[in-house]
């Protein structure tokens, strides 16, 4: 055995979840699930391993990502495998695979982990988890309204108020119509403008203008495009629909583009309004032909994704993370006074927990005072000391750690007391 | 776009979880979590990506597995990465990494997905999920008793009765002492016998005897070893302790070995007693020096793992899977009579769901009768039809699908009714 020479570090760019972080993660996932289910979305999942071809089809995903940013390897059977970098191709594959049996409109959600091979930076690890909600088989604009309302409700269900975030909506089809009205009709030019818009808030105004003119090749037309893109006064039927639902922290933003090429209509992003954390937190959009990779039956869809790291940042920035979620403590800790009484302690613990009350034993070699202090630290509610006196007399003491009160009685009566008070 | 030529199949040997399978998976995971937490175990997690060295250290894992059965690849930074084939090295790494801060005895559980590159067969996919429970920093035999009691309780919490499964316990240290008493003292010979015992129930008695004699090189000694291994009459302090806790479906089985070389004391497996499914379902054991790979401070531990596929097989064999878990239906389905009323339907749905009652809309183009039939099929409890008459009069009808009763009233009053009755 090579003693002591192996690192305890995790692989670069991924996280270990010790219990206190896991408790936060579970709180986020449970809240996501609750909101999605309140809208009637059903949970699905798939393996992180996908055939690489799923990401290679033209138009499926951002090409840069496939070529440079995925974990792709060849398995021992000479199959090319990719660790999924996003969930949309997987859900499109699953929906297309059972399109004859599934009932539309179909509302699905999932909380997958996703992998991107990129330089680790704030909020962009190599592995992260993402809530994905998708609705398939509804072309109607009210499907877009519903999905954005779901995104809105997600934030409210964490205790956020509407002033803490803003939803910005755009529509790629409307943008194409506006470009067409200026005489820009070449689809590759429109795609290039769309991709540039997606980066607009990461570059300066001058850089944007230079890059735009390079795409368009005409100064006057460039100015006209900038006028359109920077107009914030308009609205559209999705935004109007959201207002009818009572959602007002929403506005038109013609710069919203989204990175993926597969979006065809509505696109939206949610921004944190806090000056410390002012950035896009999540987004999504409508794709009318994603399942076309698999079959001639095209199925329309609209979906969005929200990452766990950005969610946690938002909750921390706005002080919305409840403190109680780190309390994963058992209700009762049984403390033997001596190692020889460990089995007696286990017997007492087992009798309590099979009645539905979480119970553990502190069978360590520490002194009783230290064991009680540890139980308090951990957030346990009660202790019962098991010593030879207690075993001989049959009278045990249930100590209530928060109230610092205690009751001495038979185990049977203490159990009844615990069941009544929990 | 390459139309229709991409397969909708998942990667070979992994599973897609459509909502009905996902519901079963969540039921299993939730029950596992509940049992583990009732024993005071805290949840942790880590990435599936681990540095390959974690599995390479001598003694860490079964060598065959590392060499031939893992997904291992080199990343673009020339780091060797492995998709974790089991959780024990990861948990040992995490515990060793924070050994100065953590409080012992430490009880942790996790439900990771694990990857093995092997030929897919029943219950042995390339990816599966596994409950892992571990206790660190307690050498006492009552820690072994507790962990086996937890395993026992897991089955009871799914509604199993003790006659449906049997726990078989052995002890590697006791086995070594028995081999030593016969004059077999060479550790490599003992390891070879242990590995052979692990395969004993997969081969015939004659094959076992031949293989054993090949290891030992002596016919008389081989017979003596067989007598020891096949003795089922004994007991040990762990088994006696379990009986004191009221657990009687447990017995000594000297053939229990477990595959991994790192076990040093108690080893155990749980067998299904059903003749259709009679096999080992899960197991674990004590390892006294696993963290020694990382540091000179050795921390003892005992752990076990239970796979999702085998758990589901057991529940199906014994008819323990509840039927209600496939009902992931929303409580209320709002049905517009016309596509033009979709937004009105979305408004009604949103008003109900923000009051905490899961609600969806059927904004499809189907006829009303079909929409109601779909709501029934899906297991929804109520429907509300939204048509121009309803919108004009302000009187809507709440149909109770199970009781086939209905109430007509204002939306406000229907909402009150729903909240009162849910």
Size of interface A-B (CB pairs under 8 A): 294
Q: Which of residues 90-119 of B touch A (CB under 8 A)?
A: 93-94, 96-98, 103-105, 107-108, 113, 115, 117
What gap in Å lies between CA B90 and CA B94, rounded to an integer? 6
Q: Which residues of B touch A246 (CB under 8 A)?
A: 350
Q: What is the pLDDT of residue A121?
A: 61
C-alpha Rg value of chain B to the nearest Å = 28
B33: CB partners within 8 A, 6+ apart? B43, B109, B111
Nearest-angstrom CA–CA distance, B375 and A287: 26
Q: Is the dihedral of CA B15, B112, A131, A270 positive or negative?
A: negative
Determine, for residues A79 and B339 on separate chains, whether the beta-carbon distance falls below 8 Å.
Answer: no
Is A50 strand, coil or helix? strand
Q: Is the pLDDT of residue B59 over 80?
A: no
Tell me whether residue B134 is annotated as binding.
yes
Cα B391 to chain centroid distance, Å, stands at: 50
- Contact call for A342 and B140, based on CB within 8 A: yes
- The nearest alpha carbon in chain B to A3 belongs to B293
Minimum distance, in Å, between the CA of residue B113 and any CA atom of chain A: 9
Tokens, residue B80? 């060797």
User: Could you tell me if B195 lies within 8 Å of chain A, comparing CB atoms?
Assistant: no
Vertex A374: Cα angle to A373 and A376 (nearest 5):
65
Query: What are residue B306's DSSP bridge partners?
Result: B131, B282
The annotation status of A134 as a binding-site residue, yes or no, is yes
A27 is in an annotated binding site: no
CA B355, CA B419: separation in Å to the nearest integer?
Answer: 8
CATH 3.30.930.10 positions along chain A are 19-317
Point out the residue among A7, A145, A353 whose CB comes nearest to the CB of B39.
A353
d(CA B220, CA B400): 77
Q: Are strands A42-43 and A106-110 parallel, antiparallel or unpaired?
A: parallel
With an 8 Å Cβ cutoff, is A364 touching chain B? Answer: yes
C-alpha triplet B235, B236, B242: angle, nearest 5°: 95
Interface test with B, best of A12, A13, A14, A18 (most B CBs within 10 A): A18
What burial letters (b/e) apply to B310-336, b meaning 16+ CB within 10 Å? bbbbbbebbeebeeeebebbbbbbbbb
Burial B98-125 (b: 16+ CB within 10 A, else e): ebeebebbbbbbbbbbbbbbeeeeeeeb
Cβ(B133)–Cβ(B36) below 8 Å: yes
Q: Which residue of A has its CA nearest to B38?
A: A358
Q: H or E stretch including A216?
A: helix A205-216
Q: Note the pLDDT tens digit of each residue in B109-166.
A: 999 999 998 765 655 689 999 999 999 998 899 999 999 999 999 999 999 999 999 9
Per-residue pLDDT, averaged over B35-54, amounts to: 95
In the stretch 241-300 of chain A, residues with CB closer than 8 A to chain B read 241, 244-246, 289, 292-296
Instruction: Report whether B116 belongs to an annotated binding site.
Output: yes
Q: At what angle do helices A19-38 and A308-317 cross, to 10 degrees?
A: 100
DSSP A9: P
Q: With CB atoms and an 8 Å threshold, state whether A356 touches B7.
A: no
B373 and chain A: CB distance < 8 Å anywhere? no
Cβ-defined contact of B50 to A98 (cutoff 8 Å): no
Chain A CB within 8 Å of residue B4 CB: yes
Instruction: Read off the pLDDT of residues A139-161 as tens digits, 9 standing for 90 and up.
Output: 899 999 999 999 999 999 999 99
- Please write down the long-range contacts of B193-201, taking CB distance under 8 Å and 24 or more positions apart: B193/B225, B194/B257, B195/B257, B195/B259, B197/B229, B197/B254, B197/B255, B197/B256, B197/B257, B198/B257, B198/B258, B198/B259, B200/B229, B200/B255, B200/B257, B201/B255, B201/B280
Which pLDDT score is estimated for A66? 60
Distances (CA, A) of B9 to A94, A100, A365, B125: 8, 15, 55, 15
Distance CA A342, CA A190 (A): 73
Chain A residue numbers with beta carbons less than 8 Å from the beta carbon of B377 are: 103
Are A364 and A413 in contact by the 8 Å Cβ rule? The answer is no
Compute mean pLDDT per 10 residues along chain A, 422 residues long, and list them.
72 93 95 96 97 75 64 86 93 94 94 85 79 94 96 97 97 94 93 90 92 94 94 91 96 88 91 88 90 84 94 95 76 95 95 93 92 91 96 96 92 93 80
pLDDT of A327: 60
Q: Quote the minimal CA–CA distance from B205 to chain A in Å.
A: 34
The pLDDT of residue A60 is: 47
Instruction: Give the torsion through C-alpha atoms of A52, A54, A60, A61, to 10 deg.
Output: -40
- Whole-model pTM: value is 0.92
Nearest to A287 by CA among A416, A118, A132, A417: A132
A130 in a labelled binding site: yes
Find, in chain B, the residue whose alpha carbon is nearest to that of A7. B294
ipTM reported for the complex surpasses 0.85: yes
Residues contacting B167, CB < 8 A, separation 6+: B148, B151, B152, B242, B247, B249, B250, B251, B268, B269, B270, B271
CATH architecture assignment, domain B19-317 = 2-Layer Sandwich (3.30)
Q: Is A311 annotated as a binding-site member? A: no
What pLDDT, on a 0 to 100 scale, did the predictor assign at position B403? Answer: 85
Length of chain B: 422
Give the distance from residue A222's alpha carbon to the nearest chain B alpha carbon, in angstroms: 30
For residue A78, give the chain B residue with the closest CA: B12
Question: Hey, which residues 197-216 in chain B have their CB within 8 Å of chain A?
Answer: none
φ/ψ region of A123 (left if φ > 0, alpha if ψ in -120 to 50, else beta) reads left
**Coil, strand or helix at A117:** coil
Q: Tens digits of per-residue pLDDT, B198-219?
A: 888 889 999 999 999 999 999 9
Residues of chain B with CATH 3.40.50.800: 329-420
Interface test with A, best of B38, B116, B187 (most A CBs within 10 A): B38
- Across chain B, mean pLDDT equals 90
Mean pLDDT of B46-73: 76
pLDDT at B85 over 60: yes
Per-residue pLDDT at B2 exceeds 50? no
Residue B324 has pLDDT above 80, yes or no: no
Contact B346 A245 (CB under 8 A): yes
Helix (H/G/I), strand (E/B), else coil: A304: strand
Contacts of B81 in chain A (CB under 8 A): 11
The pLDDT score that the predictor gives to residue A1 is: 42
Whether residue B291 is predicted with pLDDT greater than 90 in this model: the reply is no
**Which helix (DSSP H) or strand (DSSP E) does residue B287 occupy?**
strand B280-287
| Residue B329, pLDDT score | 82
Token readout for B365 is: 């183009």
Q: Do A292 and B58 touch (CB under 8 A)?
A: no
Q: What is the DSSP string of A162-214?
A: GGGEEEEEEEHHHHHHHHHHTT---HHHHHHHHHHHHTGGGS-HHHHHHHHHH
Among A1, A73, A142, whose Cβ lies nearest the Cβ of B346? A142
**Residue B230 touches chain A, beta carbons under 8 Å:** no
> Rounded distance, CA B141 to CA B139, Å?
6
Question: Cβ distance A30 to A131 under 8 Å?
Answer: no
Is A346 one of the annotated binding-site residues? Answer: no
Residues B23 and B275: their CA atoms lie apart, in Å, by: 28
Q: What is the pLDDT of residue B1?
A: 42
Q: Return the number of other C-beta atoms located less than 10 Å from residue A329's C-beta.
A: 19
Look up the CATH number of domain A329-420.
3.40.50.800
Of B19, B46, B81, the CB nearest to A17: B46
B18 has pLDDT over 80: yes
B73 touches chain A (CB under 8 A): yes
| CB contact at 8 A, A44 and A303 | no
- Are B52 and B72 in contact by the 8 Å Cβ rule? The answer is yes
Record: contact A22-B45, CB cut-off 8 A: yes
Give dist(CA A269, CA A151) in Å, integer.
10
- What's the pLDDT score for residue B289? 78
In tens, the pLDDT along B227-279 reads 999 988 888 999 999 999 999 999 999 999 887 777 889 999 999 999 887 88
How many residues make up chain A in this entry? 422
Sheet of strand B49-51, all strands in order from the earlier edge strand to the far edge: B49-51, B80-83, B72-74
Residues from chain A that touch B97, judged by Cβ atoms under 8 A, are 8-9, 16
Q: Name which of B5, B13, B15, B19 to mutate to probe chain A: the one with the most chain A Cβ atoms within 10 A of its Cβ.
A: B19
> Residues B167-207: pLDDT tens digits?
999 999 999 999 999 999 999 999 999 999 988 888 999 99
């Amino acid at each position: 055995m090579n003693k002591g020479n192996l690192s305890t570090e995790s692989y670069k760019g991924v996280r270990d979840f010790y219990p206190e972080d896991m408790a936060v993660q579970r709180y986020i996932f449970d809240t996501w699930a609750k909101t999605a289910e309140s809208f009637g979305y059903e949970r699905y999942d798939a393996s992180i391993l996908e055939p690489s071809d799923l990401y290679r089809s033209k138009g499926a995903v951002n090409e840069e990502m496939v070529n440079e940013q995925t974990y792709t390897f060849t398995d021992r059977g000479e199959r090319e495998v990719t660790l999924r970098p996003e969930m949309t191709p997987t859900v499109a594959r699953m929906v297309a695979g059972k399109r004859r049996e599934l009932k539309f409109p179909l509302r699905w959600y999932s909380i997958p982990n996703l992998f991107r091979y990129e330089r680790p930076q704030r909020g962009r690890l190599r592995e992260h988890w993402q809530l994905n909600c998708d609705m398939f088989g509804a072309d109607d604009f009210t499907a877009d309204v519903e999905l954005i309302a779901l995104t809105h409700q997600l934030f409210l269900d964490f205790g956020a108020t509407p002033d803490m975030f803003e939803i910005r909506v755009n529509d790629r089809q409307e943008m194409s119509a506006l470009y067409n009205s200026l005489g820009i009709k070449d689809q590759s030019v429109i795609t290039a403008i769309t991709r540039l818009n997606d980066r607009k808030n990461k570059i300066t105004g001058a850089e944007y203008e230079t890059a735009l003119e390079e795409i368009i090749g005409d100064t006057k037309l460039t100015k006209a495009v900038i006028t359109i893109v920077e107009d914030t006064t308009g609205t559209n039927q999705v935004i109007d629909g959201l207002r009818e639902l009572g959602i007002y922290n929403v506005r038109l933003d013609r710069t919203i583009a989204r990175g993926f090429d597969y979006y065809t209509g509505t696109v939206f992003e949610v921004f944190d309004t806090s000056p410390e954390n002012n950035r896009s937190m999540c987004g999504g959009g409508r794709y009318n032909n994603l399942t076309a990779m698999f079959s001639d039956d095209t199925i329309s869809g609209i979906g969005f994704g929200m990452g766990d790291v950005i969610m946690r940042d938002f909750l921390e920035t706005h002080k919305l993370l409840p403190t109680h979620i780190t309390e994963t403590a058992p209700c009762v800790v049984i403390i033997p006074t001596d190692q020889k009484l460990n089995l007696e302690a286990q017997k007492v613990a087992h009798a309590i927990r099979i009645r539905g009350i979480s119970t553990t034993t502190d069978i360590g070699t520490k002194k009783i005072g230290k064991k009680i202090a540890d139980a308090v630290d951990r957030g346990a509610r009660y202790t019962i000391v098991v010593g030879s006196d207690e075993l001989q007399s049959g009278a045990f003491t249930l100590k209530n750690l928060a109230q610092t009160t205690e009751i001495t009685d038979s185990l049977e009566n203490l159990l009844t007391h615990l069941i009544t008070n929990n």
